[in-house]
Amino acid sequence: MTLINRFLPAITIIAALAVWEAATRLLGIKEFILPAPSVIARTLVTIAPELASHLWATLSVLLSGYLLGVLFGIALAVVMIVLPPVRRAVYPLVVASQTIPKIVIAPLLILWFGVGPEPKIFMVALLAFFPVLVNTVAGLEGTDKGHLELMKSVDANLWQVYRHVRLPAAVPQIFAGFKLALTVSVIGAVVGEWVVGNRGVGYLLLAYNASLMTANVFATLSVIILCSAILFYIITLAERRFSWRVRLQH
SS (H, E, C) 160-192: HHHHHHHHHHHHHHHHHHHHHHHHHHHHHHHHH
Taking the chain (250 residues) in runs of 10, the rounded mean pLDDT of each run is 70 89 89 89 92 91 94 92 87 82 75 79 90 91 76 75 80 91 91 80 89 91 92 90 63
Same domain, 108 and 16: no
Decide if 124 contacts 67 (C-beta within 8 A). Answer: no
Same domain, 211 and 139: yes
Distance set, CA 41 to CA 46, 163, 215, 216 (Å): 9, 49, 9, 10
Sign of dihedral through CA atoms 29, 32, 37, 41?
positive
Same domain, 77 and 199: yes
Same domain, 101 and 213: yes
End-to-end CA distance of the chain: 16
CA 23 to chain centre: 32
pLDDT (0 to 100) of residue 250: 53
Per-residue pLDDT reduced to its tens digit, 55-71? 998 999 999 999 999 99
What is the domain-level CATH number for residue 227? 1.10.3720.10
pLDDT (0 to 100) of residue 245: 60
3-state secondary structure of 101: coil
Same domain, 2 and 58: no
Domain that holds residue 65: 36-249
Total count of domains within the chain: 2
